[in-house]
Amino acid sequence: MDLRDEQGTVVARGLVNYDATEVPDLMGRSTRWLAREMGPSYERELVHRDDLVVL
């Protein structure tokens, strides 16, 4: 997955921990909120820093 800044420039790439159809509903929420509201299987980052390359 490409991660982009406000201007659309790719600033990083990473491995995603969720299916693409789930991502829009998860954006802007903390991992704690996700775990509490959606269950413990959602207590992981969208892209973990160990799976991230900053360009």
pLDDT digits (tens, 9 = 90+) for 1-51: 999 999 999 999 999 999 999 999 898 999 899 999 999 989 888 899 999
Structure tokens at 34: 């996700």
13 beta partners: 2, 53
Structure tokens at 23: 């991502």
Do 27 and 14 touch, CB atoms closer than 8 A? no
Do 46 and 9 touch, CB atoms closer than 8 A? no
pLDDT digits (tens, 9 = 90+) for 17-29: 999 999 998 989 9
pTM score: 0.70
The domain limits of the chain are 2-54
